[in-house]
Structure 1
């Protein structure tokens, strides 16, 4: 397993969680890319690496597809939490 050579960027909130969920499932980047292609998301290996490294923005269609493929909620990808926080007015 290759370790990340650079610190995480700040262009998205989900990259580290995508990488974590993918690795926990024993899924390689190549497998995730193939499943994204099936869902109509055209992303190459460099783009996925940048997404996971949080040095690339994420589109809404990519967010939804990643959520479905990895079997996690969009909320978890965005916040690390399953339920939205309730705001007291």
Structure 2
């Protein structure tokens, strides 16, 4: 059986906390609504409430969505994954 990480087993993704941190550290900070709009221009439909759920870990996220969010936030995909 695989060992559990330091993240709660209830989390449905490992990138949500980093997405929030990167989004808020942008200058100017990117709102969830603005991120949703950027994704929409790339053909990815994730509304503001879904972004909130991703960031809180209560919604899963596909690899395609991770790539799109990284592009929308103008960072590499690796920046969205925890360092530890």
| Same fold flag (TM > 0.5) | yes
Q: Does 1:43 align with 2:80?
A: no
* Structure 2 residues without counterparts, runs of 5 or longer: 1-7
* Structure 1 residues without counterparts, runs of 5 or longer: 1-7, 82-89
Question: Which position in structure 2 is the counterpart of 1:11?
Answer: 12
1:30–1:45 Cα contact (<8 Å) kept:
yes
Q: Which has the larger radius of gyration?
A: 1
Moved over 2 A (4+): 78-81
TM-score, normalization by structure 1: 0.74
1:36–1:66 Cα contact (<8 Å) kept:
yes
2:36–2:48 Cα contact (<8 Å) kept:
yes
Alignment of 1:1-89 (within 5 A): 9-25=10-26, 26-80=29-83
The aligned length equals 74
d(CA) in 2 for partners of 1:78, 1:17 = 7
TM-score, normalization by structure 2: 0.78
Computed over aligned residues only, the root mean square deviation of the Cα atoms, in angstroms, reads 1.7
